[in-house]
Amino acid sequence: FFAPQSGVNEDPVTGSAHTMLVPYWSGRFKKQHLEALQLSARGGQLRCESRGDRVGIAGRAVTYLAGRIRLPNLKN
């Protein structure tokens, strides 16, 4: 997600976009494993795997947010 007009710069690598690109290119190239290089200003590399109805994505990452989620007790 990015919105430059609102000060949210482009992600170095957009994993969400690759979840759509990997099945397409995997089918075109008849390959299950792909290497992706995003050529944006901040750029990045990914190792991608087509897993049927799923996509595996690996690469270097930087933690930018950590938190905890507390769910209510849903027992009735």
Q: Domain of 18?
A: 12-58
- Kindly report, residue by residue over 10-59, the tens digit of the pLDDT: 676 778 888 999 999 999 999 999 999 988 777 889 999 999 999 999 99
**pTM (2 d.p.):** 0.66
**Assigned domain for 18 exists:** yes
User: How far apart, in whole angstroms, are the C-alpha atoms of residue 44 and residue 17?
Assistant: 13
- The answer to the question of residue 24 being in a domain is yes
Does residue 50 lie in a domain region? yes
The tally of domains found in the chain comes to 1
**Domain membership flag for residue 48:** yes
Q: Is residue 26, in this structure, part of any structural domain at all? A: yes
Q: Identify the sign of the CA torsion 27, 52, 31, 2.
A: positive
- Domain assignment present for residue 19? The answer is yes
